[in-house]
A and B are shown apart, each in its own frame.
Chain A
Amino acid sequence: MIDFIAIVLIVTGIGFFAVGSIGLLRLPDLHSRLHALTKADNLGLGLVTLGTALLAGSLATAIKLLLIWLLVLAASAASANLIARHALERGDER
């Protein structure tokens, strides 16, 4: 049962990644691309880590996975902010 839930979570997470990647390629301007990428990746990664945490079987591993997700969240928020700010300063919105 746990295996099944984990697999569903992971597959959903991968779906978010896929949507995010399509968004990165297809959306018209930088801000919406960033939007697609960060939202999808953070949620996608969250679901994948949740799924793998269920499969991990030990609390310590699950906490490590959670930490990884938090780190990625912070890093992607910061880098998205940097990219957006850089684009704003340069007036390059494409």
Chain B
Amino acid sequence: MNALLWTLLDLLLAAMLLGLGWAAVATRDLKRGVALFIAFGLLLALAWARLRAPDLALAEAAIGAGLAGALLLAALRDEPRHEKLAAAHSRAGLWTLNLLSVLLAVVVAWALLCALEMGEGLRLAGAVTDHIGQSGVSNPVTAVLLNFRAYDTLLELAVILSAVLGVLALGPARRGYGLPGPVLGGLIRWLVPLLIVTAGYLLWVGAHAPGGAFQAGATLAAAAVLLRLGGVDRAGLPAAAVSRWLLAAGLLVFLGVGLSLAGLGYGFLQYPAGLAGGLILVIESAATLSIAVALALAYVGGWSRSGSTQPDSTQGGSH
């Protein structure tokens, strides 16, 4: 009975995911598409929770649906509301595409079922459990991200950096928003400090419970998004020269720790016993700042137009 209920709920969630995903990409109305996509992201967060991946549920809600949604909504301001289809699709072309898609789905599904059947019980979960005691943290996802596969995370910070540098190289920010009404203004006044506290909490708690640098950074960035929506043009970001340092901080500390350990005779990013937890927290703190500044700059869309924030200036303006 219980198992049947779970299966029914799973099927319902799966059907809703497919339906929303389909609706988000099938509509010609972009505004609608973006709204549906944000709803899709929230539903996806529910799916992560269902599949016992709370770290992902947090990240999806904050980054996948939250910040990506904010970015898409901001982009809608400049886009025409309705889109035309790409190059005139002939009926035959459309059918070929549909046929190929179905074929692809069937083949990948078949391979996935075969792979699931083959791989049960021999993946890396056991190895993680065996070594988590030496990792310095007790949240297994954080252990994988910041210790076992820390090198992935290092390069991932570089990915964020390259995307943001690409955005910055494309020119100055778009214009900001008007002044907020009393209700939004009031909300922002007490929500922003709350978000900052929450970010700190997420960063700290990541060592033993769901959370960590990415969720914390995204939460800080959400505060910046709110500030900008509330009429603060620069979204609380410091002057360009300082922002550059903050952007680099995560990678500088990460590399610095890794290479210093190598210099001290350990391997690159091989944390000495007993120090792992502390070093991971240091790395994560710097990474949180970098991620927050990067995501906030990506949302603002470039260096702010207002006066002293051009790349070459070293003087910080203030609000």
Contact = CB atoms under 8 A, between A and B. Distances in A.
Report which residue of A71, A75, A78, A85 has the largest number of chain B beta carbons within 10 angstroms of its beta carbon.
A78
7 contacts: A77-B187, A78-B186, A78-B187, A81-B183, A81-B184, A82-B183, A82-B184
A56 interface: no
A27 interface: no
Interface residues of A, number: 8
A80 B90 CA distance: 44
Interface of A (DSSP majority class): helix
Contacts, number: 17
Interface of B (DSSP majority class): helix
Interface of B: 181, 183-184, 186-187, 191, 194
A82 B181 contact: yes
B191 A81 contact: no
A74 interface: yes
Interface of A: 71, 74-75, 77-78, 81-82, 85
Contacts of B186: 78
B191 A74 contact: yes
A75 B194 CA distance: 13
A75 B183 CA distance: 10
Nearest to B185: A78
A31 to B, nearest CB: 16
Contacts of A78: 183-184, 186-187
Contacts of B184: 78, 81-82
B251 to A, nearest CB: 33
A75 B66 CA distance: 14
